Amino acid sequence: MSIVEVQSAKKFYALGKTTVEAVKGVSFAIEQGDFVSIAGPSGSGKSTILNMIGLIDTPTDGEVFIQGNPVSQLKDKKLTRLRHETIGFIFQSFNLIPVLTTRENIEFPLLLGKDNKITKERRDYIDFLIEEVGLQDRQKNRPNELSGGQCQRVAIARALVTKPMIVLADEPTANLDSATGDAILLLMKKVNRNIKTTFIFSTHDAKIVNLADHVIRLKDGLVTENYKRSAESTTMAGA
């Protein structure tokens, strides 16, 4: 069973008196543990598809299945709960909570669920994530005291703290310099390998696409390519 399945999904937006067709009917499936790149130029519908998979937007037509369950008819409360339990987010602009420290930002999603106690097991896992993203000496710093790369590392750790099945990353390296972007991607790939978390990221950077083992290429709101590659054929130095 696919962890994510998109069936004939369409998304139209009303823009004044005209209707913008952002996604014109796309279908694809993503398996557990995939490192997926949704690639395409600006305006191709990458972010819209990512938002629909991330349950923060609903298709105008068609359906999105998460772990085999349709989600388009779910009410806000259930969608929010499903999002919290299943999906982690890495945003282009990091979107850290400005008043929280590195550690508190990573911890934050754990406090939103029904079981919101920070147990020793959870504390240990947070320590592990902080170590994985290399921010041991930045735990008490707030986002305005961190570099862009460090902020994105915090965001990665935050996305993983609830042990989600899927992590969505919308152009995660767009606001980073090349070296930092590469480092972030390698980190994501490492986590993907070690924890078997499914990563789905949107990008228009060919270098990043080459790192993915499953590529879905879009153009004008339609899928133009959808293929998988063996892990060995993905390319990036050090990966």
Partner 1 sequence: MGTIFKIALRNLTQHRTKTLIVGALITLGIGLTFVGNTVFESVSQGVKRGYSENFTGDIMIKAQSKKVFSLFGSEDFSSLDDLAVPVIQNYSQVLDALRATASVSSFTSVVSGYATLNFEAQGQALDLEDLDRGDPMFGIEPESYFKTFPGIKILEGRTLQSGESGILMSRSRLDQIATEKKVVLKVGDEIHLNVFGDSGLKLRVVPLVGIYQFASPNKGFEEIFTFVDVQTMRSLDSMIVGSKDDVKLDASIQSILTTSSDDFFDDTVDKVKPGSTVDLNGILGDKTLRKSLQTIDNGAWHDILIRLKPDSDIPGTIAGLNASFTKANIPVVAVNWKGAAGFPANMTDLAQVLFNLVILILTIVAVIIIINTLVISVMERMPEIGTMRALGAQRSFIRKLFTTETLLMAGVFGLIGIGLGTIGVLVIDLLKIPIDNDALQMVFSATKLDVQVSLKQVAFALFNTAIIGVVSSVYPVSVALKVSPLKAITTE
Residue ranges binding partner 1 (CB under 8 A): 47, 51, 54, 56-57, 76-77, 80-81, 83-85, 89, 91-93, 95-100, 104, 108-109, 111-113, 158, 162, 170
User: In the complex, what is the shortest distance from the CB of residue 32 to partner 1, in angstroms, rounded to a whole number?
Assistant: 21
Enclosing H/E stretch for 35: strand 35-39
Q: Please, which contacts does 186-191 make with residues 24 or more away whose CB atoms are closer than 8 Å?
A: 186/236, 186/238, 186/239, 187/132, 187/133, 187/153, 187/156, 188/35, 188/90, 188/156, 189/35, 189/236, 189/239, 190/132, 191/132, 191/156, 191/160
User: In the complex, what is the shortest distance from the CB of residue 154 to partner 1, in angstroms, rounded to a whole number?
Assistant: 12
Q: How far are the Cα atoms of 134, 180, 190, 211 from residue 238, in angstroms, in the given order?
A: 17, 14, 10, 11
CB nearer partner 1, residue 93 or residue 147: 93
User: In the complex, what is the shortest distance from the CB of residue 126 to partner 1, in angstroms, rounded to a whole number?
Assistant: 14
User: In the complex, what is the shortest distance from the CB of residue 152 to partner 1, in angstroms, rounded to a whole number?
Assistant: 14
CB nearer partner 1, residue 54 or residue 59: 54
User: In the complex, what is the shortest distance from the CB of residue 132 to partner 1, in angstroms, rounded to a whole number?
Assistant: 19
CB nearer partner 1, residue 98 or residue 238: 98
Burial of 92 from C-beta contacts in 10 A (0-12 / 13-18 / 19+): middle
CB nearer partner 1, residue 60 or residue 210: 60
CB nearer partner 1, residue 104 or residue 127: 104
